[in-house]
């Protein structure tokens, strides 16, 4: 493991609801990793999805709750909704490299294709795109684009592998050095008509732009890291180290984020929990693989 100094981590919440204990764990972990290395911890608001996240009141409330919890961040707060020019530039670069293709599939077509491939008529959890539009004839693509058929832009991961091979990335926790095999990653969406960039593209562009060299985040995003490593490769961006932390769970092992309302900082404050108590609950959960001893009424 070779940490680059100064270490820069970040907390990057999507403001789709109230700040909850799972957020506190993620923020506290990013802060802790910055502090033990004498580094900086940045705050980035991932508010790209206009349907789910653009309510300024939600962001404001999140910021207030973070402040009430005593969590501090360094530098300016970055909002992804203000960074769309940078995402467009990255998309243009990938398009010029011949790595993107338009996908005209609806959600139900993607699901049907996936279920057909795996003969799971009742829907395998977490189905992924099977590549239906990857091989459309160029004249058909032109015709659909000219007619204004709604589409997303996907990255062709097989071509990505031709360009960058199979690079490695490193998790500073128990996972160690991992190999990214782009062709086995999904051809993820990088932009949609209603969203200028997807999570995957924005996160990679922003981590590089903000100089984040240690990405601390929940292990639910572990599957996304090879995709991000592949994007860093084709965009020629610096490759950060990663630290994937355990997610907050209740005593029976169920993810607490499934009960976001009950675990929101506002709700817990109303129940009389102090900041110190909530911090302690999260701290001891971190030491206990995410298991949390919160007893909710
Ligand atoms: N915005 C994402 C979330 O709230 C986290 C992104 C990341 O850490 O890469 O789950």
Q: What is the pLDDT along the chain (297 residues), one digit of tens a residue?
A: 667 779 999 999 999 889 999 999 999 999 999 999 999 999 999 998 877 766 888 999 999 999 999 999 999 999 999 999 999 999 999 999 999 999 999 877 777 766 665 544 444 456 788 888 999 999 999 999 999 999 999 999 999 999 999 999 999 988 899 999 999 999 999 998 778 899 999 999 999 999 999 999 999 999 999 999 999 999 999 999 999 999 988 877 788 765 666 689 999 999 999 999 999 999 988 888 888 777 665
Determine the pLDDT at residue 128: 83
- Its pTM stands at 0.91
How far is Cα 65 from Cα 279, in angstroms, rounded to an integer? 13
Among 20, 45, 199, 242, which is best to mutate for testing ligand 1, by the most ligand atoms less than 8 A from CB?
199
User: Which of 26, 217, 241, 245 for a ligand 1 pocket mutation test, highest count of atoms within 8 Å of Cβ?
Assistant: 217
Is 57:14 a contact under the CB 8 Å cutoff? Answer: no
Q: Counting atoms of ligand 1 from 1, which one is nearest the CA of 13?
A: 4
- How far is C-alpha 44 from the chain's CA centre? 12
215 touches 207 (CB < 8 A): yes
Nearest atom within ligand 1 for CA of residue 26: 8
13 CA → ligand 1 middle, Å = 5
Q: What are 26's two structure tokens?
A: 């993620």
Distance 218 CA to ligand 1 centre (A): 8
Burial 144-160 (b: 16+ CB within 10 A, else e): beeeeeebbbbbbbebb
pLDDT, residue 22, reads: 92
Atom from ligand 1 closest to the CA of residue 220: 10
Q: Are 53 and 14 in contact (CB under 8 A)?
A: yes
Q: What is the chain's percent helix, strand, coil content, to nearest 5? A: 45, 15, 40
Q: For strand 152-155 and strand 214-218, is the pairing parallel, antiparallel, or unpaired?
A: unpaired
Separation of CA 86 and ligand 1 centre (Å): 19
Pairing of strands 168-171, 40-45: unpaired
217 Cα to the center of ligand 1, angstroms? 7
- Cα of 181 from ligand 1 centre, angstroms: 22
Strand order in the sheet with 214-218: 176-179, 168-171, 241-245, 214-218
User: For residues 293 and 297, what is the distance between their CA atoms, to the nearest angstrom?
Assistant: 13
Residues in contact with ligand 1 by the CB-under-6-Å rule are 12-14, 46, 203, 217, 221
Give the list of residues 6+ apart from residue 286 with CB closer than 8 angstroms, or none. Answer: 25, 28, 29, 245, 246
How many angstroms does the Cα of residue 9 sit away from the middle of ligand 1? Answer: 13
What confidence score (pLDDT) does residue 254 get?
80
| CB contact at 8 A, 46 and 12 | yes
Residue 24 has which token pair? 């506190």
- Mind listing the domains of the chain with CATH numbers? 8-56+73-227+241-257 (3.40.50.620)
Strand order, beta sheet including 100-103: 100-103, 152-155, 189-192
The pLDDT, as a whole number, for residue 136 is: 96
Ligand 1 pocket mutation, candidates 8, 9, 13, 17, criterion most atoms within 8 A of CB: 13
- Closest ligand 1 atom to 218 CA: 8
**Ligand 1 mean position, distance from CA 187 (Å):** 20
């Amino acid at each position: 493991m070779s940490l680059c100094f100064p270490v820069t981590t970040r907390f990057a919440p999507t403001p789709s609801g109230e700040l909850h204990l799972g957020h506190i764990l993620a923020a506290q972990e990013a802060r802790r990793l910055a502090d033990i290395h004498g580094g900086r911890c940045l705050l980035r608001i991932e508010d790209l999805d206009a349907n789910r996240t653009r309510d300024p009141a939600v962001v404001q409330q999140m910021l207030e709750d973070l402040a009430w919890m005593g969590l501090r961040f360094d530098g300016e707060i970055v909002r992804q909704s203000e960074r769309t020019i940078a995402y467009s530039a990255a998309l243009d670069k990938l398009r010029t490299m011949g790595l993107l293709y338009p996908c005209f599939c609806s959600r139900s077509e993607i699901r049907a294709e996936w279920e057909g491939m795996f003969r799971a008529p009742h829907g395998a959890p977490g189905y992924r795109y099977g590549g239906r539009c990857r091989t459309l004839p160029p004249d058909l693509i032109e015709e659909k684009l000219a007619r204004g058929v709604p589409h997303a832009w996907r990255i062709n991961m097989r071509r990505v592998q031709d360009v960058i091979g199979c690079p490695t990335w490193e998790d500073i926790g128990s996972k160690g050095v991992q190999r990214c095999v782009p062709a086995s990653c999904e051809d993820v969406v990088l932009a949609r008509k209603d969203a200028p960039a997807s999570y995957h593209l924005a996160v990679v562009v922003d981590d590089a732009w903000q100089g984040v060299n240690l990405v601390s985040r929940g292990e639910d995003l572990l599957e996304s890291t090879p995709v991000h490593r592949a994007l860093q490769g084709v965009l020629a961006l610096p490759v950060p180290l990663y630290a994937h932390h355990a997610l907050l769970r209740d005593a029976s092992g169920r993810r607490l984020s499934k009960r976001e309302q009950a675990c929101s900082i506002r709700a817990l404050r109303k129940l009389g929990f102090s900041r110190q108590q909530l911090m302690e609950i999260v701290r001891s959960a971190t030491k206990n693989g995410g298991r949390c001893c919160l007893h909710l009424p």
